[in-house]
Structure 1
Amino acid sequence: MSEIVDLEHVRLTQRPLLVCDVDDVVLEFLLPFEGYLTSLGHRLVQRSYRLHGNILSTLDDRPLADDVVSQLILDFFAAQETWQTPFGDAVHTLKRLGEQADIVFLTAMPPRFTEIRRRLLDSLDLTFPLLATERPKGPVIRSMHGDRQLPVAFIDDMVHNHHSVAEHVPECLLVHLMPQTEMHKHAPKPGPNVLQASDWRDVERHLLVHFSQQE
Structure 2
Amino acid sequence: MAHLAAPAPDARAPDIATLGLDPQRPLVIVDVDEVLGLFMEGFGRFLEERGLEFRVDRFALFQNIYRPGETEHLDIAEGKRHYDDFFRYGAGDMEPAPGAARALADLARQAGVLILSNAPAQARLARSRWLGRHGLDYPLILNSGPKGPLASALVRQIHGPSAFIDDLIPNLDSVAEAAPQVARFQMVADQRLRDLAPSAPERHTRIDQWPELSEAVAETLRRGARDAA
Tell me, yes or no, if the aligned pair for 1:21 and 1:107 is still in contact at 8 Å.
Answer: yes
Q: Residues 25-64 of structure 1: matches in 2 within 5 Å?
A: 25-58=35-68, 60=70, 62-64=72-74
Query: Residue 3 of structure 2 aligns with which residue?
Result: none
Tell me, yes or no, if the aligned pair for 1:5 and 1:133 is still in contact at 8 Å.
Answer: no
Q: Does 1:7 align with 2:17?
A: no
Query: 2: CA distance between counterparts of 1:170 and 1:11?
Result: 25
The structural deviation recorded for 1:167 is 0.5
Query: Residue 94 of structure 1 aligns with which residue?
Result: 104
Percent identity among equivalent residues? 25
Query: 2: CA distance between counterparts of 1:60 and 1:207?
Result: 43
User: What SS does the corresponding residue of 1:83 show, helix, strand or coil?
Assistant: coil
Q: Residues 61-140 of structure 1: matches in 2 within 5 Å?
A: 62-140=72-150
With 73-82 and 5-14 compared, the bigger mean Cα shift is at: 5-14
Query: 2: CA distance between counterparts of 1:78 and 1:5?
Result: 24
User: What SS does the corresponding residue of 2:29 show, helix, strand or coil?
Assistant: strand
Q: Does 1:154 align with 2:164?
A: yes
Tell me the matched-pair count. Answer: 213
- TM-score w.r.t. structure 2 length? 0.85
With 133-142 and 80-89 compared, the bigger mean Cα shift is at: 80-89
Query: 1: CA distance between counterparts of 2:43 and 2:129?
Result: 19
With 17-26 and 31-40 compared, the bigger mean Cα shift is at: 31-40
Q: Does 1:165 align with 2:175?
A: yes
Tell me, yes or no, if the aligned pair for 1:57 and 1:64 is still in contact at 8 Å.
Answer: yes
Distance 1:127 1:147, change over 3 A: closer
Query: Residue 174 of structure 1 aligns with which residue?
Result: 184
Give the unaligned 5+ runs of structure 2. 1-6
Tell me, yes or no, if the aligned pair for 1:80 and 1:117 is still in contact at 8 Å.
Answer: no
Instruction: Output the aligned Cα RMSD.
Output: 2.0
Query: 1: CA distance between counterparts of 2:30 and 2:200?
Result: 17
2:115 corresponds to which letter in structure 1? F
Distance 1:59 1:40, change over 3 A: farther
Query: 2: CA distance between counterparts of 1:130 and 1:156?
Result: 15
User: What SS does the corresponding residue of 1:63 show, helix, strand or coil?
Assistant: coil
The structural deviation recorded for 1:11 is 4.2
Give the unaligned 5+ runs of structure 1. none
- TM-score w.r.t. structure 1 length? 0.90
1:145-180 deviation per Cα after TM superposition (whole angstroms, max 9, x unaligned) = 116441100010001100000001111111110035
Query: 2: CA distance between counterparts of 1:67 and 1:54?
Result: 13
Q: Does 1:16 align with 2:26?
A: yes
User: What SS does the corresponding residue of 1:132 show, helix, strand or coil?
Assistant: strand
